[in-house]
Structure 1
Amino acid sequence: MADCVDHQTMLCSAGLGPEMIVMRKYAGHANYAYDLDVHKFAMLLRDHAIGMLGMEHALVDVIRPPLERVTKAL
């Protein structure tokens, strides 16, 4: 399917990247994205909030959210 709609698979199969070294940043001739480790990103945000912003981290289990408060906010 991918071969029918985009040239990205051909580039990958040839070992090529989405941009050439002479191109502006993020101005590649093919689409591309970055993979993000969500868990590491969450830890980074937590550590920044605690260490730099002085926030407090509370780890809790949400059993049943108070729906009446949510509906009043809407």
Structure 2
Amino acid sequence: MAQTPASTAVPPSTVTDEEVDAVMRDLEALRLEDQEIIHAMQNWEMMDRHLTELHEEAEAAWLAAHQLAFDF
């Protein structure tokens, strides 16, 4: 059976539980930030659709008003 040379052996972990906890907290903070960004983008898209609808309604009202003005 072949042995792994000592120079390529993986050393024991030197990462502490506190470091792991800190990384996990950072990852959770990033996940929450991502959720906030996604929510803001969804709100932006909803407002954009609403403004487009309002613009279309205003344009239709403007055209109707001008049509009435020309009918007189």
The normalised TM-score by structure 1 is 0.26
The normalised TM-score by structure 2 is 0.27
Q: Structure 1 or 2: larger helix share?
A: 2
Structure with the bigger RCO (C-alpha within 8 Å, sep 6+) is: 1
